[in-house]
Structure 1
Amino acid sequence: MASEITYAEVKFKNASPAAVVEVPPETKRHEHHPQKYPPWLPWLISLLLLLVCIALIPALLVVPCSRSGDQPTALQQKFMEWQCVLAVPQGKGRGWVCCPRGWKHFQNSCYYLSDDLMGWPESEQNCTGMGSHLVVINTRAEQDFLTKELQKIARAVNYYIGLRAQLLGQWQWVDKTPYNEMAAFWRKGEPSNVSAEMCSGIHTSINSEIHNWNDIRCEDHYRICEAAAVSV
């Protein structure tokens, strides 16, 4: 018996437009079959999407502590936990001001009030190591804020500020801010300007007044560190 022969018409490059290509019947039959997927594939895709959403939740809830594209400050590099307050109404740009957890916030600065004692060089290094410096007091409002915070300690101690005399009676702030005697807050009779007391600090007590600076010996005292607050 003669074998069955299947014919196909092929359209060549120079063939007339009327030429038609016919695909063999067997090929046509396979093209009409829908592609089948494993029954578990939709569940796998749903699970992966759920895991991605869970991974994104922390990033959406944590307030970023740096502006987009900005280099992080030294303070930001040292601390992972932050406290933020809303400084301007929502919808008006960046309105959050942040300080490391445990620091005090006032205006555009963050303040660290130590609970341990150090000498002047160690105190200065400790503040610098945290991306800050010994506090530089520029305004009466800032001095009033620190005085009220230190009154809560309820004991008579000294806290280093960033004011030191390199030569007797020649006071200089650690950040090179010019010293203004008219904007200083010395206690009555201070500074005594003796060679044994070349450092300065805030003397605390329950009834401490706003004028509470002492010149003191550069030995072990508490300290106040200051750094610029982070805006987001």
Structure 2
Amino acid sequence: MASEITYAEVKFKNESPAPVVKGPPETKKPEQHPQKYPLWLPWLISLLLLLVCIALVVVLLVVPFCHSSDQPSALQQQFSEWECDSAVPQGTDRGWMCCPKGWRRFQGSCYFLSTDTMNCAESAENCTGMGSQLVVITSKAEQDFLYKQGTQPPSRENFYIGLFEDDVGQWQWVDKTPYNVNATFWRNEEPSPGHTENCTVMYVPERNLNNWNDVRPTTKLYRICEAAAVTV
């Protein structure tokens, strides 16, 4: 008779528990600190802002000035430094009136009061060479402005203006503006008779608006040049 084999499940009381597998120790994450900017960054930002300001100046002043007309005036061709202000009549499309640096603006004109002397013909030629002309005075307001400018330092007595005697008693402005005897500012008993004194000056020491003298053309005196202001 075949013997039976009996299987039994046996548990031991002193059986040790299954070992616990430990992982590597947990590492602490580094603390998050705000990112520090490089020291040169503020300087870079300042430089960029400066470049932006320069670009705005170029756009607002230089570019419009360069395109103020299709053909630059003779005055624009002679000078590279200009002074502009916004005192223009209302209703105009452009907002700045400009004169060469060192010139003085009144209404729509720029004026140059020289600090060196020349004779009459040389004075006219000098003004023309700068893209202007000897001044043509057409109003009391203009005469008053130029008289006040002439009294400012340095001290100067006589300024050539653009009024000439073509023939005895026939006076003519350099730009062919009609001569109006009622809109002149001659001194008492001026102009002198004859044709030897055929150029005109503004005599500043007279201390009033009637201060024009006729003089000989060879006399070396100061001069006032005039040109139209450039509008941009």
The normalised TM-score by structure 1 is 0.71
Cα gap change, 1:90 to 1:60, in 2 (>3 Å): farther
Task: Report the equivalent of 1:159.
Answer: 159
Cα deviation, residue 70, structure 1:
2.2
Cα gap change, 1:189 to 1:66, in 2 (>3 Å): farther
Cα deviation, residue 68, structure 1:
4.9
Task: Report the equivalent of 2:78.
Answer: 78
Opposite residue 104 of structure 1, the aligned amino acid is: R
Task: Report the equivalent of 2:213.
Answer: 214
The normalised TM-score by structure 2 is 0.71
Task: Report the equivalent of 1:227.
Answer: 227
Alignment of 1:36-55 (within 5 A): none
Cα gap change, 1:58 to 1:85, in 2 (>3 Å): closer
Task: Report the equivalent of 2:171.
Answer: 171
Task: Report the equivalent of 1:142.
Answer: 142
Cα deviation, residue 152, structure 1:
1.6
Cα deviation, residue 198, structure 1:
0.9
Cα gap change, 1:153 to 1:212, in 2 (>3 Å): farther
Cα gap change, 1:196 to 1:90, in 2 (>3 Å): closer
> Any gaps of 5 or more consecutive residues in structure 2?
1-47
Identity of aligned residues (%): 55
Distance 2:126 2:114 in 1: 10
Opposite residue 102 of structure 1, the aligned amino acid is: G
Cα deviation, residue 95, structure 1:
1.6
Q: Which deviations, in whole Å up to 9, do the C-alpha atoms of 1:106-127 show, x marking residues without a partner?
A: 0000000000011111111110
* Contact 2:88 2:96 (8 Å CA) reproduced: yes
Q: Which deviations, in whole Å up to 9, do the C-alpha atoms of 1:200-225 show, x marking residues without a partner?
A: 010012x6100100001112111000
Aligned residues: 182
Opposite residue 76 of structure 1, the aligned amino acid is: Q
Task: Report the equivalent of 2:188.
Answer: 188
Cα deviation, residue 169, structure 1:
1.6
> Any gaps of 5 or more consecutive residues in structure 1?
1-48
* Contact 1:66 1:231 (8 Å CA) reproduced: no
Task: Report the equivalent of 1:9.
Answer: none
Structural RMSD (CA) = 2.6
Cα deviation, residue 87, structure 1:
2.1
Distance 2:113 2:143 in 1: 14
Q: Which moved more, 1:170-179 or 1:145-154?
A: 145-154
Distance 2:89 2:210 in 1: 35
Distance 1:88 1:156 in 2: 31
Distance 2:69 2:209 in 1: 41
Cα deviation, residue 170, structure 1:
1.0
* Contact 1:97 1:229 (8 Å CA) reproduced: yes
Cα deviation, residue 56, structure 1:
4.3
Opposite residue 213 of structure 1, the aligned amino acid is: W
Task: Report the equivalent of 2:94.
Answer: 94
* Contact 1:136 1:161 (8 Å CA) reproduced: yes
Cα deviation, residue 93, structure 1:
2.9
1:203 lines up with 2:193 in the alignment: no
The SS at the match of 1:165 is: strand
Cα deviation, residue 149, structure 1:
0.8
